[in-house]
Structure 1
Amino acid sequence: MWEWIGNSVASEAFRGSVMLLAVLVAVVSVISVKSTAKKKQTADLLFGTRSDDKLSAGYRCLQDLHKGADLNIRTLANGSEEHADKAASVRYVLNHWERVFVGVRQGIYDECMLREANYNVVIRMYDQARPFIEAVREKSQIPTYWQCLEQAVTRWRKKPLKKV
């Protein structure tokens, strides 16, 4: 019996099987670590944005512009000095989310976590800022401004959050 075990351990098939098993364990470990790291990055982002005063001010500015009747948000894209601070606030919010969704596309952030935590915020923000986005694209003749944000909103709208 011991001879059979010794011969089995020495066989090529056995060594190949052990090697394959070791490779599979390594691959599963790498995938697991990568997934955990992505979720940690996303959690750090979510907690970090809560303390971003400029982002909060940008959301308020967008909401005020959306509700107000005294200023058309499209006019902010013209670069007028009179409304430069409001335009900068809107750009700050849009640029923040564009960077986030570039990170999603590059595999840095977990889109599912972001969607669950920010679905309504992102959809509402995009809807309020859309006239500004369109005006900037028209004026600059560059259709790619905030395209990752726009693509994410399109994806998210196709799959709205469900009540848990």
Structure 2
Amino acid sequence: MMFNGCSVRAPLWGAFSLVLAVAGCHHFDRATVWQFAKNNPTAPIMSLATLIAYNGLRTQRKIARVKNALDFQNNYLSSEISKKYIANAVQIANNKPAEELSVATLNDQDLLCIREVLNSFERMAIGIEIKVYDSKVLFRSYASTVLTVWKALRPYIRERQQSASYVYCHVDKLAADWMAKRGKKISRRDKAV
């Protein structure tokens, strides 16, 4: 994209050409730019400062996402109660046939474990989707746990989604994304060997 003869993709020229446009220069060449810079010494500095500030904001957002992901990891998924719930949910799913993983056949304690685990993964998936959490950090830490639990509890999830299609839909999307991502990593590793 061109703006007053300068590529907007080149960030410094794009910002500088925007300053020139605001200043009223409709057409310019190098001599005009040099003359403008001599007459308005703050314009190039403002352009550069704008770019630095923009880059700083992007970096700050990335740092905040990583921090939030680590906080989630430390506060919830590392707690003893959640570890117990996850272990119980996987054990329930592995020890019971798929037809017994329904709301009607599970006792209250089993339902509590399953709901607590799936709800926490749903919150994590929503946080990743709205870019509150860094997906890479949580993928490295919890991909195998999330995928194991999700696969084991799919009959329960499907039953719940029959009555309300939006239930655990974010976990489904996250699991599908992470399975595809894991498949790509495995195929790259196989090619390297």
TM bracket, shorter-chain basis: 0.7 to 0.9
**Which residue identity is paired with 1:88?**
L
Q: Larger relative contact order (C-alpha < 8 A, sep ≥ 6)? A: 1
Which consecutive unaligned segments of at least 5 residues does structure 1 have? 1-6
Tell whether the 8 Å contact from 1:66 to 1:73 is kept in structure 2 after alignment.
Answer: no
Is the alpha carbon distance of 1:71 and 1:17 closer, same or farther for their aligned partners in structure 2, counting shifts above 3 Å? Answer: closer
**Which residue identity is paired with 2:60?**
V
**Which residue identity is paired with 1:120?**
S
Query: How far apart in 1 are the matches of 2:53 and 2:99?
Result: 57
Mapping 1:101-140, distance limit 5 Å? 101-138=125-162
**Which residue identity is paired with 2:131?**
G
Mapping 1:1-164, distance limit 5 Å? 10-12=38-40, 14-69=41-96, 72-75=99-102, 77-78=103-104, 83-138=107-162, 141-160=163-182, 161-162=185-186
CA RMSD of aligned residues (A): 2.4
Query: How far apart in 1 are the matches of 2:157 and 2:98?
Result: 16
Cα deviation digits, residues 51-103 of structure 1 (max 9, x gap): 4233212212222223324785423x22x6x7011011100000001011111
Greater CA deviation, 39-48 or 86-95?
39-48
Tell whether the 8 Å contact from 1:122 to 1:153 is kept in structure 2 after alignment.
Answer: yes
% identical equivalent positions: 17
Is the alpha carbon distance of 1:66 and 1:116 closer, same or farther for their aligned partners in structure 2, counting shifts above 3 Å? Answer: same
Tell whether the 8 Å contact from 1:65 to 1:73 is kept in structure 2 after alignment.
Answer: no
Query: How far apart in 2 are the matches of 1:156 and 1:129?
Result: 16
Tell whether the 8 Å contact from 1:65 to 1:72 is kept in structure 2 after alignment.
Answer: no
Greater CA deviation, 34-43 or 50-59?
50-59
Query: How far apart in 2 are the matches of 1:30 and 1:158?
Result: 31
Superposed structure 1 runs of 4+ greater than 2 Å apart = 7-10, 49-54, 69-75
TM-score normalized by the length of structure 1 = 0.82
Query: How far apart in 1 are the matches of 2:110 and 2:70?
Result: 29
Higher Cα Rg, which structure = 2
Shift of 1:10: 5.0
Aligned residue pairs total 152
